[in-house]
Amino acid sequence: MDFSDGVSFVTWEIAPVGRDSCGLAVTHSRLREDANLQLYGGWPMVLSGLKTLLETGGQLTTPGSLRWVGDVYA
């Protein structure tokens, strides 16, 4: 692994909400001030995929332009 850009932390906090639900808070901390803005764009897709998996047991249908294939986007 290459940590030359520094290390950041991701914290996942799950808490009950009502009787049948839970809430999820994701905090991405210790980012450099000049961190790449594309870094932030990935979280909505990750969280949407997690929500779909937990609610339906299935995978999120990802538009082709956002699919990761090897080391490039398709």
Over the stretch 5-61, which tens digit does the pLDDT of each residue have? 678 889 999 999 999 888 999 998 888 777 766 666 678 888 888 888 888 898 877
* Assigned domain for 21 exists: yes
* Assigned domain for 51 exists: yes
* Assigned domain for 44 exists: yes
d(CA 15, CA 52): 18
Domain tally, the chain? 1
* Assigned domain for 45 exists: yes
Domain carrying residue 17: 9-60
* Assigned domain for 42 exists: yes
Q: What is the pTM of this model?
A: 0.60
* Assigned domain for 55 exists: yes
- Per DSSP (E only), the strands in 1-74 are 9-17, 21-29, 68-69, 72-73
Q: Which two tokens stand for residue 43?
A: 């979280």
Over the stretch 61-70, which tens digit does the pLDDT of each residue have? 766 555 555 5
* Assigned domain for 22 exists: yes
